Structure formats: C-alpha cells, structure tokens
Structure 1
C-alpha cells in the first residue's frame, strides 16, 4: 500500500483482541491500519477474522499470494517435507530441496523460453534481490549510476530505495540517496513526449551532464506507482537502447512476475530478454520468504560471499516453489490464468463505464489492475468502504490515488464476481459519501 502519510488506526472487528499489537508492535505497521481485523484463517481467495467474518481477498499479500492462500497440493508437499525431517535452514549449502527447485525451474520456466540465466539466491526479500542486481551491474560495467524511472518502486533498503521514486518512502532514509538518475516512464510527460527519445538524447549528448549508467531498472507494470503499464514497443526500444550502449537491463518482476500479467514473466509479451531479472513475492508460491536474481552467465561476476545472507537457503520455500512450478508445466494453466485476467478486465471495463461520471479509468495489465478516478482521494475511501463490506483491496500511487486490484491469479470468473460486486457497491457508497459531505460543507 502506498500512502503519502500514516493512516489512522480504526476499531478492530468486535471481540477481536488487538491490545497486544498496540502495546508491543512498532508504529511502522501499515496494512493492519487499513484492514483492522484479526485474521485467523485463510484459504484460496478468502480470509476469516477472529469473529468468523469472511473477507474476499483482492490484496493477495501485495503480490506474494498469486496462487491464493494455502493451496492444498502445495501445503501437502510442505507438510510431507517437514514430516520427513528435511532441512529447513541451509545457508547456500546444497540440499535436495534446492536441487529439485533448480531442475524444475530450468525445465518449466527457463528452457521453454530459451533463457540460459543462472540463479542467484539472495536474502529472502525483493529489495535484497534488487541490491544484488545493482551490485552485479556495477561490477560488470565498472560504472556506478543506475537509471530508474518515475513512479518506480524497487524496495526500501538504501540502494534499492535510491531507485524508488516515492518521496514519502525516500524521506525515511535519513541520508542522501545517490547514484541513481531518474528518467520519465512511458506516458509520464504526456502522449506528445517520446520518453525513449528523450532518454536516448540525454545519454548520447556529451553536454547533458548524464553519465553512461551501469543499468536500467524497470517494472513493466508499476505495482506501487499507480499501476501504469509500459507498452511492448516501449520496452523493446528500451532494451535496444541498453544493448546498443552496453547498459545492462534489469527487469524488476517482483510484483508483476510469476503469472500476474498472464505469462510467467511480465516482459514476455514484449519479446525482450533482460540481462538480470529480480523475482520474489510469489516465487515461493506459498507466501514463504524467497528471492532470487536471474543473471546471464557472462554477467555472473560477483565472487563467493560478495552478496550473502543467512536466510538465502529457505528450503521450505524451495519445496513450495517447486510444487507451484508443477502448475506451469500444464499447458492449460497459463490459458486459465489468461481467461481469469480477461474476466477481470471485462468487469472492470463495465465498472469504468458505470462510474464514468467519476472519471473512472482502468489501469494495469493482466491480474495486476487499478482503477483511477478524477478525485485522487476517492480510491482511499473506496478501499475503506470495501473493507466494511468484506473485501480487501488496497491503494497504489505516490498519493494513494489509484485503487489496486490483485486477486489470486487462479481466481475464476465466478469467484471474482462476488468481490467485484462488493467493489461496485463500495465505489457507489464512497462517491455518495463524498457528495453528502460536500452538501454539508
């Protein structure tokens, strides 16, 4: 959830004991402030609180639960591994769980797409994967700067935060954030400005003051930046600019990857092959911490221990990730995800037409979607109204101005319908409340 300022805690569901959270947990927490319930059970696209109230989940762990909560076959694989006393913690030691994941990942993901990238396991967060990618790009090129884009979000550790755009997040660093040059994302300066031409001119002009960077880092869909999606032609041109100038291309697929746009990688539609690919969130398939960087072999130049971490060998995540890859081995699975994406898009288009008087527009791609409104404050009110109706849906954008809709990618059309009906009711209610407040004023 992206927001410009902290959100006030609202009362929890009746009967839920939240005193311990207020007494002991840090003020830095966010999601529990927007969704003040104590959740005790979750399955598929639904969650239940301590009072037994059901919620439809269009949050999906901010992209960490693409396959929903507790998919049964994945849970079974995890339980079997634990009952067999399989090693849980392994640093970067060789384990059977890791070997099984690597074999399956090459067989199901890399080989069919003609990718020969090596797999670097980093600390188990997306921001750590981004840090590793930056280190690699700087080592390979001998250059220091990274070009990142307006609206981008790449994590909150200092190196990744330097590439993240939101001022609210950046302000928490407490130190200057450097070695990143910001360029306009597609559409940022309006339809009349070709941002690739602008980027190219600055890179090639010795009087621009822009040093040749080590890498471009880009999200194909800006998950935290308001659901802006880059077009395939724009991405292809960006890849060409990078290749022609010896600049490495990093695609941050942490939120948009693992099937979220309808293909395993979000860049497949564009037909590009990044030099480095960052994955986290749903790569484990079960909400377990796991992150990795895919590196072209010639760029795998960090030495032993130069990017390390105690928890880069989460064998439980290897087990669940392998079980989820079995789904991608079935030809029908990707088609099923695309059908679900089409069903979501069709209904959101209907909502945009229904609420055209609110300036409602559909953003994003696949199953990572957004609704924008003329009033940038409306998304927040809709999110809160949705929660009272039993729907979890967050906001996105530097001002929280876009409603972010991310159901699990396995949610079928008939399962999406009740959540989308709640969403429509929440929009109507939030808009009416705004009108009423205006009348009172």
Structure 2
C-alpha cells in the first residue's frame, strides 16, 4: 500500500510527547466500521487491535449505534453522576439477568470512574478497607493501570518509573510458569506467608489477570488459578481478578475466569463493557464486602448513561443466547491453526505462540522482530501492536464479531509480514 505522509504539524506542535500509538501508525484516521478503519485519504486498515480490547464488537456496531442514537434523539440523560436513571436501571437489570444469574454469581455492582485503572483503584481500596491491611500481592509482568495505586501492582519498569515517587504496599510474586516449570506453584509465596521472618506483611488481597495482555499474552493455567483461589481462601486474602482487557468475551466466556471454575471476591471490568468504546467501568464484589460509606469512592463521570445504553444493547445482542462464546472459540481455533503454521515455517527464528479465545501472542528469539512484524503489517494495511516488557510479542486482538473472511485475510497478512520481517533479520 502506497501511503502519502500526512501533515502531522498540529499534532507534533500542540500534542504532548506522551502520545504513543500514533507513532506506530502515522496516518490520520477518519472513520471506521466493523473490523476496518479508514484514513482521511480512504485507505483501509484491517483492525487486529480493537482499541486495545475496548471494541470487542467492532467499530460503530450498527445494533449498538442504533440504541445510542435513539437514546440521544429522545434527550436521554447523558451525565448523571451516580443518580438513578432509567438507563442505569435497565443496564443493572439486564446485567443481572444475562450475566450474573446464569453464572450463579452474587455480586454487588459499583460504578467507579469510567476507566479501567479507576476500577482497579476502587478494588484495592475496598480490599484494604475490608481487611484492615495495606499489602497487595500482584504478579510478574502484570499490568493494572497507570494511576499510582494501579502502578504499584504493575510490573513494567518503564511504566512504574513514570510515577516519579516510590510505589509501595505492593509485592510481586511469580506468575504461572515464570520459572519454566522448574519450581512448584506458589512455593515462594507460601513460604513467605508461613515464615515470620520473611518481611512480608499479611496481604489484604491478591490481584491477577488470567491472561496478561500487556505483559505478553501470558496465559495462566486453570489449575494454577484454582490453586491461587485456594491459597487466598486458606490465608484470608481476597482474590481480585482484573478482567478489564480479557473480560466481556475476549477469551470465549463472558468472564475469563469461568474456565477455571473459580469465583473471585472482586472483579474489575472496563474496556468493552460499554460495547461501543464509550468510557465505563465496573467493580463487582461479593455483598459482604460492600462496606463503603456513601461517596467514599466517587467520580464526576461514573454515571455515563450513553455507555449504559450501549452496554445493555451489547448484552441483549450478543450474550442472551450464548452464540458469541461458541463463535469466539471457533475463531480462536482458526487463529491458532494459522499461528501454528507460521511457527512451523519460522522454526529457525524460534517462533512461538500462545493465547486463548481471540487473544493471541506471537514471539521470536530476537525480540526486535515483533516490532518489525507490526510495522510491515501496517504497510500491508493491518493494525497490530506489540506487548511484553520488551515489546517482544506480536499481539492479536481482533474484534469478536470479525467475519471468517476478514480473519483469514488478516492471518494471511500476518503470515506475509512475519516472513518479510524474519527475512529482513536473516
């Protein structure tokens, strides 16, 4: 694809140097529909990024868009803080009917500020308030957000350094297979908890991602998650599952922890919970943990009523009959087959893949290859990002609603991009 370099003057002169994604994709996007984005010159880009997981149902999903437009056209409340509104009531009722009750989950629903990191902050504050302790255990290569509390339980050193102050009251432990199977699960964690001389304060909670998205698509085994849940129960620690990127069907089931058969004490959701890319987040927790005082955790934009509308439409359209979960599993098998073929063809480059549902990662011995793959894919009209502490993993997050033909096209483009990038290295 031949792309004429756009005039980026206004962005470069006025916007902060903190911008990141635009550096990898130096075009000016104008519109988007489904799994395709278009720049202002009309070039199409197949989107395997999905708003970092915020667009599980694609761009401008027509069902969700219709519900949103109808709501706005009748002058529905757009900003409501935590006031009771019809949009919120409908969402709560449908969320209970479609998501919670069929899974036997008895959770209270909290609307923190509308970002993932705010949901995590709320979860950490609540755990500390309930247990009366400060320490939180997280895991190597975890990512939980960019505000100070979330950064304290995030592993990435570059992101942590941005805090500018010491990040305290968080203790990292090895994630599943961190020692390549050479150390029994939770040996170190259990020993520290038992040893009065370990220096580990009794934790209030443990926070975990079932699949570490930003950490490199590191997939926790169901048995590891079950053992973690058991450890938390035995040691009087709350279990928090951060399902911000991997929830809302990304791994197949609505919650990523369902496969393991565990019931976390607290769950955080954001990104695709609104279904349309509108800011929204939830903290779910067992009723006995609801010890908040009114207004103890609040935010001006926690009542994003348009997001309630599209979230409800997404539940009705995609989760009432269970078909999306089956479709995601099938699409995931299509991705896995293609990645297996890529890794066979690129065995000399040490290509490896991992993932579940429609969250996949592709890694090489040379960590720089991932960046070259994504750059070449962009030249070929496809949006991919890297993940992992060294940006060493090609990360695939296509929309759950992507068609088989679009998925096949993207996987062919990925295969070509990998071949070109590995050939460039040789």
Quick check: 2:5–2:26 contact (8 Å CA) kept in 1? Answer: no
C-alpha displacement of 1:332? 2.1
Per-residue CA distance 1:107-147 (angstroms, 9 max, x = gap): 00000000110000010110000000000000100010000
Matched, 1:407 2:410: no
Counterparts of 1:80-91 in structure 2, within 5 Å, are: 80-91=70-81
> How many Å separate the matches in 2 of 1:47 and 1:108?
31
> CA–CA distance in 1 between the matches of 2:16 and 2:5?
23
Within a 5 Å distance, the mapping from 1:420-435 to structure 2 comes to 420-435=411-426
State the alpha-carbon separation in 2 of the partners of residues 124 and 285 from structure 1: 13
- 5 Å-filtered alignment, 1:273-422, equals 273-326=263-316, 327-422=318-413
Contact 2:5 2:27 in 1 (8 A): no
* Structure 2 partner of 1:67: 57
Q: State the Cα distance separating 1:333 from its structure 2 match.
A: 2.4
Is the aligned partner of 1:249 residue 2:239? yes
Superposed displacement of residue 211, structure 1 = 1.4
CA contact (8 A) 2:37 2:44 kept: yes
Cα gap change, 1:351 to 1:376, in 2 (>3 Å): same
Q: Which of the numbers 148, 167, 172 marks the counterpart of 1:158?
A: 148
8 Å contact kept, 1:58–1:405? yes
TM-score (norm 1): 0.95
1:229 maps onto 2:219 in alignment: yes
8 Å CA contact 1:387, 1:393 repeated in 2 = yes
Partner of 2:178: 188
Q: Is the 8 A contact 1:344 1:413 kept in 2?
A: no
Residue 199 of structure 2, aligned match among 184, 189, 209: 209
2:120 to 124, 130, 133: 130
What is the aligned partner in structure 2 of residue 120 from structure 1? 110
Describe the SS at the equivalent of 1:339.
Answer: helix
Q: Identify the range of structure 1 (94-103 vs 190-199) with the bigger mean alpha-carbon deviation.
A: 190-199
Greater shift, 186-195 or 316-325, is seen at 186-195
Which whole-Å CA distance do the structure 2 matches of 1:98 and 1:350 have between them?
Answer: 46
How much does 1:13 deviate? 4.3
Superposed CA deviations along residues 277-298 of structure 1, whole A, max 9, x for unmatched, are: 0000000000000011001100
After TM superposition, the structure 1 = structure 2 runs for residues 138-177 of structure 1, keeping only pairs within 5 Å, are 138-177=128-167
Q: Aligned residue pairs: how many? A: 424
Q: In terms of mean alpha carbon deviation, does 232-241 or 341-350 score higher?
A: 341-350
Contact map agreement 1:64 1:282 (CA 8 A) in 2? yes
Given that residues 340 and 410 in structure 1 are in contact (C-alpha distance below 8 angstroms), is that contact kept between their aligned partners in structure 2? no
Question: What is the deviation of 1:336?
Answer: 1.4
1:31 matched residue in structure 2:
21
Match of 1:195, SS state, is coil
Q: Note the C-alpha offset of 1:343.
A: 1.4
Instruction: Give the alignment's Cα RMSD to 1 decimal.
Output: 1.1
- What is the Cα deviation at residue 15 of structure 1? 6.0
- Taking the aligned partners of 2:338 and 2:425, their CA distance within structure 1 comes to 24
Asked whether the 8 Å contact 1:16–1:51 carries over to 2, the reply is no
Q: Assess if the C-alpha contact under 8 Å between 1:13 and 1:36 holds in 2.
A: no
1:202 Cα deviation after fit: 1.3
**Separation in 1 of the partners of 2:142 and 2:9?**
36
